[in-house]
């Protein structure tokens, strides 16, 4: 299986639109996975923590949205075999715990609703345990890389540019210069010098693009899992002027 990163953006994408359509097309192009391991910006916990393998309900971790958002359901099969494989690959260095009361957050279920709309691919989430340690997140992905040979999709979910304090709520379609520059730099590094992204916070625009780091580091897990895989960008663009929708697929 490839490894992937989805720029999940606005939770309203759950209801459809151009980005949802692009996710559907991307999902249709992927080989069918045995299961999906999601590392979402919205699940930070240490030590590494797995979400429910017994069917906990969705987490609607947003407020002020239309009522239709809170009626949406995404109910993939639990993934106990995948969770067990994660535990084995992270041991003995890391003891992985399970949070059986924790369902999928919107960083997972919103894009998966369109990537795998049949709700038939077993899914579990793994927390971000080291938000402020990029090298550790790359290593986490490398440790999980053997999952790919077993047919599992490792999917990071965040955004390559994410600063809610700088968005254009009118969403005129224009892209702010600093956001386009940082997004373009990351794409270029992925193509040419991926190891440089371990030091992404040294980029002069990094603090503007990411006042906090949780939306970027899932990309590093994906990158660590990719090995020598070549990147492709099945989805690109922006929402609200500065939220990168770029998705990455590593062969």
Integer-rounded Cα Rg, in Å, for the chain is: 17
Domain residue ranges in the chain: 3-250
- DSSP annotation of 77 reads P
CATH of domain 3-250: 3.40.830.10
Of 91, 128, 118, 141, the C-alpha closest to 33 is 118
Task: Please give the helix or strand (H or E) that residue 248 lies within, else none.
Answer: strand 247-250
**Sign of the C-alpha dihedral computed for residues 161, 58, 156 and 27 taken in this order:** negative
* Phi, then psi, of 141 in degrees rounded to 5: -60, -40
CA-CA distance, 87 to 101, in Å (whole number)?
18
pTM of the model: 0.96
Report pLDDT for 173: 80
pLDDT less than 50: residues of the chain? none
Report pLDDT for 168: 85
CB atoms within 10 A of CB 48: 21
CB atoms within 10 A of CB 46: 12
Question: What separation, in Å, do the N-terminal and C-terminal C-alpha atoms of the chain show?
Answer: 8
Give, in order, the Cα–Cα distances in Å from 102 to each of 57, 77, 80, 91, 95.
8, 15, 14, 22, 18
Asked if 247 contacts 231 with a C-beta cutoff of 8 angstroms, the reply is no
Residue for token digits 């407020």? 63
């Amino acid at each position: 299986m490839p490894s992937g990163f989805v720029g999940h953006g606005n939770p309203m994408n759950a209801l459809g639109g151009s980005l949802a359509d692009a996710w559907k097309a991307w999902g249709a192009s992927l080989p069918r996975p045995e299961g999906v391991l999601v590392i979402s910006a919205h699940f930070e916990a240490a030590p590494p923590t797995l979400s429910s393998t017994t069917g906990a309900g969705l987490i609607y971790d947003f407020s002020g949205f239309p009522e239709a958002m809170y009626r949406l359901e995404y109910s993939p099969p639990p993934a106990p075999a995948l969770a067990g494989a994660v535990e084995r690959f992270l041991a003995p260095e890391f003891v992985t715990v399970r949070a059986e009361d924790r369902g999928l957050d919107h960083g997972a279920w919103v894009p998966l609703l369109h990537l795998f709309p049949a709700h038939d691919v077993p899914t579990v989430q793994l927390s971000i345990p080291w938000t402020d340690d990029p090298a550790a997140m790359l290593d986490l992905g490398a440790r999980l890389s053997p999952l790919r040979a077993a047919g599992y999709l490792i999917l990071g979910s965040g955004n390559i540019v994410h600063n809610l304090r700088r968005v254009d709520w009118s969403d005129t379609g224009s892209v702010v210069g600093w956001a386009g520059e940082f997004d373009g730099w990351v794409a270029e590094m992925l193509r040419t010098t991926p190891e440089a992204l371990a030091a992404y916070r040294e980029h002069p625009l990094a603090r503007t693009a990411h006042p906090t780091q949780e939306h970027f580091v899932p990309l590093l897990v994906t990158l660590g899992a990719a090995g020598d895989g070549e990147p492709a960008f099945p989805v690109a663009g922006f929402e609200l002027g500065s939220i990168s929708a770029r998705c990455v697929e590593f062969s």
